[in-house]
Amino acid sequence: MTSDRITSVRISSVTLPLHTPISDAKVLTGRQKPMTEVALLFAEIGTESGHEGFGFGYSKRAGGPGQYAHAREIAPELIGEDPSDIDRLWTKLVWAGASVGRSGLSTQAIAAIDVALWDLKAKRAGLPLAKLIGAHRDSVRCYNTSGGFLHIPIEEVLDNTTASRERGIGGVKLKVGHPDWRVDLERVTKVREHLGDDVPLMVDANQQWDRPAAQRMCRRLDPLDLVWIEEPLDAYDHEGHAALARTFDTSIATGEMLTSVAEHAELIRAGGADIIQPDAPRIGGITQFLKLAALAEHHRLQLAPHYAMEIHLHLAATYPQEPWVEHFEWLEPLFNERMEIKDGRMLVPDRPGLGLTVSDQARAWTVDSVTVTA
């Protein structure tokens, strides 16, 4: 017997414009163009008892229309199902599209649906998502990334770090990977001097160094007392990351670009990260994130989920070791609520589920939408 059934699934494609084109090292090396928008995939699930769940995924640059098309195609598989059986439904959805793989775009389409199912389950229980899963803490250390991109002049970066600290954000991450390594070193040194020795500072090379360059840069950055050096190498160079982790005092962080638990398992097996950075929308949602988190904890790894703080705050709160969550204000216009930050930490909302409601602005940015019913 079941207490409820899924009666409707609404899938929406939403395009969020960015106020300023964004550039990291991938742009400066000519591999990508500046980012001007974020493509969002929304999933809204309704049940016969009147409960509703909301989830989202995203794509930067290409991929958003593909995620939307795949989610729209598999959504009918949910009609009539018990929304509590989330793991079984994830498996059903992944096999519905198995011919296009069990990672990447296909499972990223499932992620938005999976998040909606977890949001629904927590709302039915009257609990914040973190409490439904089982929280270790009611707040998580946070750091800001959006103020430290490579297209931003260093004087403005310094102002951004001050503003972040005044807002209560605990740490600062600075983008590196400039074609001229001297520019990187000068910018990181200035930020460290501006912040002082006690403020957590991270850097992110976005995969743009080869092994010799990464060795040299890690050696130059080691004395600056960084929390971590992120993605110094290609995301799939697990052995190269492992060599850096063994050689230098500064922790090596990576994982955001991997798109399945299986890919992360290979990274962990190689010893390629001190700090693992999974992204729930990229690896298939909360169901897969929790499986990976158990594996990461078994290997005593630190956790710092990538982006999507609105989801990852809840998940980081459930990790046994003290984690980090990444602060990006980019998605704030999509929702009526804001994450609360105090004394360097992001507070887990006490509202049921994710604690989010979709804003009128997000509805206005909707490009296409389809609703599947019985």
In a domain, 338, yes or no: yes
CATH number reported for the structural domain that contains residue 292 in this entry: 3.20.20.120
* Average pLDDT in the chain: 95
Q: Is 342 among the annotated ligand-binding positions?
A: no
Quick check: is 1 in a domain? no
Specify whether the CB–CB gap between 45 and 113 falls below 8 A.
yes
- 95-108 average pLDDT score: 87
pLDDT of residue 346 exceeding 90, the answer is: yes
How many domains, in total, are found in the chain?
2
Distance CA 71, CA 67 (A): 6
| 340 annotated to a ligand binding site | no
Host domain of residue 79: 6-126+360-368
For residue 140, what are the contacts with CB-CB under 8 A and spacing of at least 6? 313, 316, 317, 323, 324, 325, 345, 346, 348
Q: Does residue 354 sit within a domain?
A: no
Task: Categorize the per-residue pLDDT at 336 as very low, low, confident or very high, splitting at 50, 70 and 90.
Answer: very high
The alpha-helical segments, DSSP class H, found in the chain are 25-28, 64-74, 86-96, 105-125, 129-133, 154-167, 181-195, 211-221, 238-247, 261-269, 280-283, 286-298, 309-317, 360-364
95, amino acid identity: W
Q: Which of 121, 123, 131, 175 is catalytic?
A: 175
Whether residue 154 is found in the same domain as residue 232: yes
Query: What integer pLDDT is reported at residue 1 of this predicted model?
Result: 45
Are 330 and 191 in a shared domain?
yes
- As a whole-number percent, the residues of the chain with pLDDT over 70 amount to 99
| Whether the predicted pLDDT of 283 surpasses 70 | yes
Is the same domain home to 217 and 173?
Answer: yes
Is residue 352 one of the residues assigned to a domain?
A: no
Mean pLDDT value across residues 349-366? 97
Q: Is 145 in the same domain as 212?
A: yes
Q: What is the pLDDT of residue 268?
A: 97
Are 22 and 175 in contact by the 8 Å Cβ rule? The answer is: no
Q: Which two tokens stand for residue 340?
A: 């609360």
123, 178, 306, 327: the catalytic one is: 306
Specify whether 136 is located in the same domain as 119.
no
Query: Region 19-45: what's the mean pLDDT?
Result: 89
Measured in degrees and rounded to the nearest 5, phi and psi for residue 52 equal: -135, 140
Q: Is 204 annotated as a binding residue?
A: yes
| Residue 33, marked binder | no
Confidence of residue 24 (pLDDT cuts 50, 70, 90): confident
241 is catalytic: no
Local confidence band at 104 (pLDDT 50, 70, 90 cut-offs): confident
> pLDDT for 223-282, tens place per residue?
999 999 999 999 999 999 999 999 999 999 999 999 999 999 999 999 999 999 999 999
Residues 60 and 178 in one domain: no
Same domain? 151 vs 297 = yes
**Can you give the pLDDT at residue 2?**
58
Is 151 known to be catalytic? Answer: no
Each residue of 148-204: pLDDT tens digit? Answer: 898 999 999 999 999 999 999 999 999 999 999 999 999 999 999 999 999 999 999
Identify the DSSP state of 348.
P
Task: Check pLDDT > 50 for residue 21.
Answer: yes
**What is the per-residue pLDDT across 308-318, written as a single tens digit (0 to 9) for each?**
999 999 999 99
Q: Tell me whether residue 60 is annotated as binding.
A: yes
**Alpha carbons 124 and 106: distance in angstroms, whole number:** 28
CATH number at residue 119: 3.30.390.10
In a domain, 216, yes or no: yes
